[in-house]
Amino acid sequence: MDRIVVRGNGPLNGKISISGAKNACLTLMPATLLSEEPLTLTNAPRLSDIRTMTTLLRSLGAEVQTMQDGKVIAMSSHQADNHVADYDIVRKMRASNLVLGPLLARHGHAVVSLPGGCAIGARPMDIHISALEAMGAEIELKDGYLHAKTSGGLKGADITLRFASVGATENTVMAATLAKGTTVLRNAAREPEIVDLVECLRKMGAEIEGEGTDTITIQGVDRLHGATHPVVADRIETGTYMLAPAIAGGEVELIGGRIDLLGAFCEKLDACGIDVTETPTGLIVRRRNGRVNAVNVVTEIFPGFPTDLQAQMMAVMCTAEGVSVLEERIFENRFMHAPELIRMGAHIDVHGGTATVTGVDKLKGAQVMATDLRASVSLILAALGAEGETVVNRVYHLDRGYERVEDKLSAVGAHIERVSEDE
């Protein structure tokens, strides 16, 4: 198992290219199941989660080819006749549940393994299920699998989600594209990845309005055709690298980074003394003064502060001037990085969904353990500003969502390398 070794090395300077968004690509790929014609994605990120989705789609009978060093994914599911998403694949990646809606719409039935437990929370699928049931699906849980079927196909419905779940919005929108009649989806999630999905579905011939708002209207059509679509930039990768100069100093330009996708995050950066400037090719980030100010953060659905940047923000607050309170409102167990940051000398007090961080002058390098995707990158960020050497173990978590993190950070002057267990 690989580890990543980081030695704090002072200010960072240079450019980092932002990849396509993992969380957009993971919902765009299952859309291939909605048409018999080819769907090609460009600007795709090269991540282990994308490879898992590729394995899943191939197991359903789809052809999936990656080209141009993995940046182009060409898919065709004209022969996709299997409607069972197997536990052995689904347990590796929860987003596998995004095939449920498309399979049901395409075949009229689907058998999808429930993903099981997750480090950051229980993450049930009740909202997905009740939305699809409102469209006429019959769904029962048997042997750990959701067995879903329709008699005569899905039907348009007026649906209000009990919570603006990203995944439930994506599954329902995809299913509704081929349903009979109109679906009105209220309290829908507004994340940019959903906007990207809808833009792609529209290119495939879907009739959809309201993406990016809390009410999405889908007029079902008989069939969808093929399309080519560029994956939107990864706002969470962008936000993560914006915090590198906040911790280590210096100035970094994020090529392809987009401020408009980052909602409340940029306002928080401004409040803690981090300057963000848009450029023709992306955005430049630097600290305004020597030290970052402590700020309070509450994670929310888009356009609020993203939960996927909470761990990284905690790493910055560890050496900020003052006391900050971070409240995690989306997931019930998303402070696993705190005990690891404490091993590096941070002062953090966690009570339920609230963490109080008292800034210290400097963190110290240590052996730490990655527990989930965003927790792992927060440890790398913390190490960039720490004294001495930090060794981050179990970086397979990181590879799920960050493309070549050590290459991108060493390009701006970080001392970072990947070492495999037997080295």
Three-state secondary-structure class, residue 419: strand
Minimum CB–partner distance for residue 25 and ligand EPZ (Å)? 9
Given candidates 229, 286, 337, 374, which one binds ligand EPZ under the rule CB under 6 A? 374
DSSP 145-202: EEEEE-SS--B--EEE-SS--HHHHHHHHHHHTTSBSEEEEES----HHHHHHHHHHH
**296 labeled binding residue:** no
Tokens read off for 132: 């699809």
Q: Binding residues for ligand EPZ, how many (CB under 6 A)?
A: 25
Return the residues of window 70-129 that contact ligand EPZ according to CB under 6 A: 94-95, 121-128
Residue among 329 and 415 whose Cβ is closer to ligand EPZ? 329
325 close to 313: Cβ distance less than 8 angstroms = no
85 close to 29: Cβ distance less than 8 angstroms = no
Q: What's the half-sphere exposure (Cβ side, CA atoms, 13 Å) at 345? A: 16
Q: Using the rule CB under 6 A, is 217 a contact of ligand EPZ?
A: no
Tokens read off for 212: 């990016």
77/27 Cα distance (integer angstroms): 15
**330 labeled binding residue:** yes
DSSP 48-116: HHHHHHHHHHHHTT-EEEEETTTTEEEEE-TT----EE-HHHHTT-GGGGGGHHHHHHHHSEEEEE---
Residue among 111 and 168 whose Cβ is closer to ligand EPZ? 168
**23 labeled binding residue:** yes
Q: Is 118 a catalytic residue?
A: yes
Q: Which of 118, 200, 266, 318 is catalytic?
A: 118
Helix (H) or strand (E) segment spanning residue 409: helix 405-410
Scanning 7-15, 103-111, 165-173, 241-249 for contacts with ligand EPZ by CB under 6 A, the matching segment is 165-173
Kindly write out the interface string for residues 305-324 of this chain, putting x where it contacts ligand EPZ by CB under 6 A and - elsewhere. Answer: --xx----------------
**333 labeled binding residue:** no
**308 labeled binding residue:** yes
Helix (H) or strand (E) segment spanning residue 248: helix 235-248
Q: Using the rule CB under 6 A, is 165 a contact of ligand EPZ?
A: yes
Q: Using the rule CB under 6 A, is 166 a contact of ligand EPZ?
A: yes
Given candidates 138, 163, 228, 407, which one binds ligand EPZ under the rule CB under 6 A? 163
Given candidates 285, 373, 377, 398, which one binds ligand EPZ under the rule CB under 6 A? 373
Positions in the binding site for ligand EPZ (CB under 6 A): 23, 26, 94-95, 121-128, 163, 165-168, 189, 307-308, 330-331, 373-374, 401
Residue positions annotated with a catalytic role: 118
